[in-house]
Structure 1
Amino acid sequence: MAKDSIPYSSLSATVNDMPDNEDASLVKDGDLTIQSPFLKFNRWLWWLLVGINICFLIVGQSAAVLLGRFYYDQGGNSKWMATLVQTAAFPILYIPYFFLPSSPEPSTSTTSPSILTLGLIYFALGALIAGDNMLYSVGLLYLSASTYSLICATQLAFNAVFSYFINFQKFTTLILNSVVVLSFSAALIAVDDDSEGPSGVSKRKFIIGFICTIGASALYALLLSLMQLSFQKVLKKETFAVVLEVQIYTSLVASCVSVVGLFASGEWKSLHGEMKGFAKGELSYIMTLVWTAVAWQVCSVGVVGLIFVVSSLFSNVISTVSLAVTPIASVIVFHDKMSGVKIIAMLLALWGFASYFYQNYLDDCKARRSEQDDKETHNISLY
């Protein structure tokens, strides 16, 4: 399952309106300098929120991928069940949602979006999420966990393109470098003769898994940009509760679509036999599905949280950090083959991530210098 900072054009605010004791960062949305809704907090608290969401994303995504691979390795074979568990645990999000305090400023807009508008947005995003999850499930079925994770790095390149057209994210030399490097990383996996799926999966199925994972990465990147656009143009709320609302309702739609697919495909008929034949036993089968579902929700909260607190580009950048965790963990847990080509591909993926991260650092430094200059200009004008 984010980029330079929260891009709410409606939240544009001048530095002169900021209290002098607030050490907050400004962010750039195209040519517009805007202020994050979390600037109302101290700087350390903002970084704490960012850090918590980063941990949620990395730990949740890594654990979910490994558990998903474990499900297939031990006898699971239902692609729709693997799709369903990626969103089915959304009810647990009601626990933190009900404990979150309400905001005295629920929206940055004088008019709230209508229920119909929200319903259409949640339905569209939820349906896309279900389709994306299905593609990921097919990819993981035919690919090893390490190969799957490395191919998923291409989502960063796709996100750069979608962010350019949808979120008006500017291309820089570093971003272009990252796109090219990540494309080479995926290409290396595709042409590697030693690349194969688990348990001797045929080359044809490997190619199907590769294409599905590439398609899922592209769709995922599109989802992030559309979600960022929804926050910017429609939701416009300044509470973290809206993050959970988006996750809950889109997951509800995605889960319903997955259930329909499970029954329409007839895979539900084989679930009982699948559980009986699970290599580690029936209890292990149930717990694998349960914890996979929980891990995906933890990951999703981190993804949406970073989109809200920072931006969709930054969220996607952090997603690639798991590329340094999942392939290594899969070698230890599942004894995946780590060929020289895979190692080079992983290094290229990390290079692509580093380029994006450094660009984000440069943007942050530029925004802070702009903030300081505006403060000095304002102070001089007072005398």
Structure 2
Amino acid sequence: MRAIVYQGRGTVALQDVAPPQVEQPGDALVRVELAGICGTDLHVIAGDLAGIRPGAIIGHEFVGEVIAVGAAVTRFKVGNRVMSSDFTACGHCRWCDRGDHWECHERAFFGTGTSFGPALHGAQAEIVRVPNADTTLGLLPKGCSDEAAILLGDNLATGWAAVERGALLPGEIIAVIGGGSVGQLASLSAQAAGAGAVVVIEPSETRRAFARANGSLATSPSEARSLIDSLTDGEGADLVVEAVGAAVTLTGAFDLVRKRGRIISVGAHATESWPFPLAKSFANELTLGFAIGDSIRLRPRLLSLITTGVLDPTVVVDRRVGFADAVQAYADLKAQRILKAVIDPRI
């Protein structure tokens, strides 16, 4: 079968590889009908994640059709169209019982090598093996497009997790650092949750224009504090979401938040350490938290918002390609010429 394969730092390529097989009773095989290219994938191919090795199939966002199931799979059968979380979880440990699926000891993150658990080939392929399928997969309902399901699996779940973890209250002012797909979806999530105003902070004018067209205020990093001050009488944002995954942008969040405010980072961080502004955080009673999107937990709520028309995450998808153009799509995403690309293996 064909797949997008990590070649080494900075390089991916389309290759023919052996198709996966059912290995465990809880496995399902899914014929991929649409796969996403995510900002996390850019971290992967840049070599930021130490667990990736040449030969790994990339990608963790997908929808498709079940073509085989293991003997222990009870929720799905051959022919079902399904969506997926970007990582697997067992569904029955204490972490899963609490809805904290990311902390499951059986977690494996598609397409990221051993960075976040056992190595598991990714979904930018014609077929993907899904361990713990009964927990990891969900049926694709009417009213939810393939593109929306792709985004619910990671980017939308991450954006919503930022708002949820940040305990946003109706009417509060939120600043989102980063206008990529996660940042834009965090903005849409905050609007759906009742934010008084959302300010997207982004150096790219194209991405700022996108944010404005989709209900946010938008500003460059150098003018962010001034705009936030005008909205808050100089106090600062109630909640700041860092959606880049860089130490410099996380540091910058502390200059935008009000006293007793909250900072939530959902960017994919690879830096091992970071100088924490301890004295300022203590004096201003700041809260700093991190969140990872858990679509297994959030799937029912987000599907309801999507199918009722409250939230349309597909606005961020601006490139749909076949395998032949996938490598170029990676380059265009890295250069910020596009916001979100999806791959249709059937093209």
Hey, which of these two has a bigger chunk of strand by percent? 2
TM-score band by shorter chain is under 0.3
Structure of higher CA gyration radius: 1
Hey, which of these two has a bigger chunk of helix by percent? 1
